[in-house]
Structures are given as structure tokens and as C-alpha cells.
A and B are shown apart, each in its own frame.
Chain A
Amino acid sequence: DAGVIQSPRHEVTEMGQEVTLRCKPISGHNSLFWYRQTMMRGLELLIYFNNNVPIDDSGMPEDRFSAKMPNASFSTLKIQPSEPRDSAVYFCASSPRDRNTGELFFGEGSRLTVL
């Protein structure tokens, strides 16, 4: 079975440019999460979707960040304009309908470098 698929794996861009990260969750999973990982702050939850609807976006750092989930098999995280402090690894994770398992399935991440 395919796991969570993220693209691009690596992105290098210049300050001020728009960045779009993409995620395809595991088929049948109804929850999707975007996390950001940095050395200083560890794993931070940015936003959570349930059944394609954003439920909690309190972790989105500022208005430059936005996320969408137009259907059950696709989500995007957009940063516009990007800044050097946005450099991090961004992970998408999905989770199945049975919340009792509590397991998050992570993609391999998108490493973003903003120069």
C-alpha cells in the first residue's frame, strides 16, 4: 500500500517567492495534518483537516500560510511570500477513521530552504 505522498521532497527558493507543498494522504484516511519540524521548535502542528474540512488552524504561524484540502486525496500548504525563517521540513500526516488507534502516518516530508 502506498503511504502518504508528499511533493516536492526538496525546495529551494528565494525570499518573497510563493511556495506550494503537496500531500496525498493514505486512501480511506479521513484526517489530515500538516506539521513543521525545526531544530529549535521540534514538531509543530500547523493545521488539521477532518473530512476535508479545516478543524484547527491555530498553529498556522501567520497569514502568509494557507492550507486547502479540495478533496479526500489531496491537500496543499502554501506560503506566500516566503521568508528565510520558514526554512524547515514540512510533514503531512494522515490518520484513519478509527480514532482509537491514535496513529499518525507521516509522509517523508518536504524540506524547504528559503534563501
Chain B
Amino acid sequence: QQQVKQSPQSLIVQKGGISIINCAYENTAFDYFPWYQQFPGKGPALLIAIRPDVSEKKEGRFTISFNKSAKQFSLHIMDSQPGDSATYFCAARTEGGYQKVTFGTGTKLQVIP
């Protein structure tokens, strides 16, 4: 049972363009929605995160848009650069006694010059 659905599986964007990755969830107990960035041969690293009481969060060229009623959230990368080429994972954390984080299946982004 996949609790966090992510699309697309892969994405090719030209340098300077906007990269958009979408995620959807069903479990209303999720209370924290991070995005992780993973470069080849490395572990995932936190990129940006949002809580459900906020509709948008921006950090530099990276923006999360969150739609609580639709149970969807997305990552926008503005002015995409070749250095942004990586795999991006959306994730969701459940409320409760510990930080159980469920990851989406990942989107492999390639930014071409």
C-alpha cells in the first residue's frame, strides 16, 4: 500500500526552466511533508519541508505548494540548473510517538544545458 504517490517518475527540463514534481497522500494523520534530494552514490538529504497549516513555502529557487483539501503537494524548482539534476523524494510523517517517515517513489530530474 503506497501511502505517498509521486509523479512523474522522471523529468527532463532545460536549464532555466521550471521543474514540477507532484505528490498525493491519503492519510490525514500526516503532519509534516519534507522533500529530500539525492545525488548518485549519496544518501537523501533534506531540501525543504512544509506543515499542513501553510499553503506555500519558498526557499531560494525551491517552493513547496500544499493543498490540504486535495491532499496534494508539489515541489517547484525555478530557474532549474544542471546542478539540480538528482532524484527527488517527497515524504510524509505521521503524528504519534515517533518520526515515521513514508517516502514517495522518487523523481529522477535531469536538467540539460
Contacts and interface: CB of A to CB of B under 8 A. Distances in A.
Given A95-B99, A99-B99, 18 more contacts: A31-B98, A33-B101, A42-B104, A43-B89, A48-B100, A56-B98, A93-B43, A102-B34, A102-B93, A102-B99, A102-B101, A103-B34, A104-B99, A106-B44, A108-B41, A108-B42, A108-B43, A109-B43
Interface in B10-34: 32, 34
A50 B93 contact: no
Interface of B: 32, 34, 36, 41-46, 49, 89, 93, 97-106
Nearest to B101: A104
Given A42-B105, A42-B106, A106 B100 contact: no
A67 interface: no
Interface in A37-69: 42-43, 45, 48, 50, 55-56
Nearest to B102: A45
A25 interface: no
Contacts of B105: 42
Nearest to B6: A42
Contacts of A102: 32, 34, 49, 93, 99, 101
Contacts of A104: 36, 44, 46, 99, 101
Given A42-B106, A45-B100, A56-B100, A106 B45 contact: yes
27 contacts: A4-B43, A42-B104, A43-B89, A43-B106, A45-B100, A45-B101, A45-B102, A48-B100, A55-B97, A56-B100, A91-B43, A91-B44, A93-B43, A95-B99, A99-B99, A102-B34, A102-B49, A102-B101, A104-B36, A104-B99, A104-B101, A106-B44, A106-B45, A108-B41, A108-B42, A108-B43, A109-B41
